[in-house]
Amino acid sequence: MTTVPNPELRRQVIAIYKRKLELLYLGRDYPQGYDFFRPRLHRAFMAKAHLTDEKEIREGIARAEFVRKEIEAL
């Protein structure tokens, strides 16, 4: 039996994924370079793609926001 995902969490996850393009743009100025940054960003997203537990999804969202803010601060 599959459960229907929380619509608010789904919206937040989609918004973060859309911001991935923004993160890729910011990654151009990453200290180790874009070629270092891009595959790691992709792996980070894919590592969380299987999550179904709401608590884990919320933690992933919080982590993504933290990383985005850290990259913007560079």
pLDDT mean by block of 10 residues, the chain; 74 residues: 71 86 81 86 87 90 87 77
Q: Buried b / exposed e across 15-49, counting CB within 10 Å, b at 16+? A: ebeeebeebeebbeebeeeeeebeeebeeebeebe
pLDDT at residue 27 in the model: 80
Q: Are 34 and 28 in contact (CB under 8 A)?
A: yes
How large is the C-alpha radius of gyration of the chain? 13
pLDDT at residue 3 in the model: 58
Which amino acid makes up residue 29? D
Determine the Cα angle at 48 with ends 5 and 31, to 5°: 140
| Claim: this prediction has a pTM higher than 0.95 | no
pLDDT at residue 4 in the model: 53
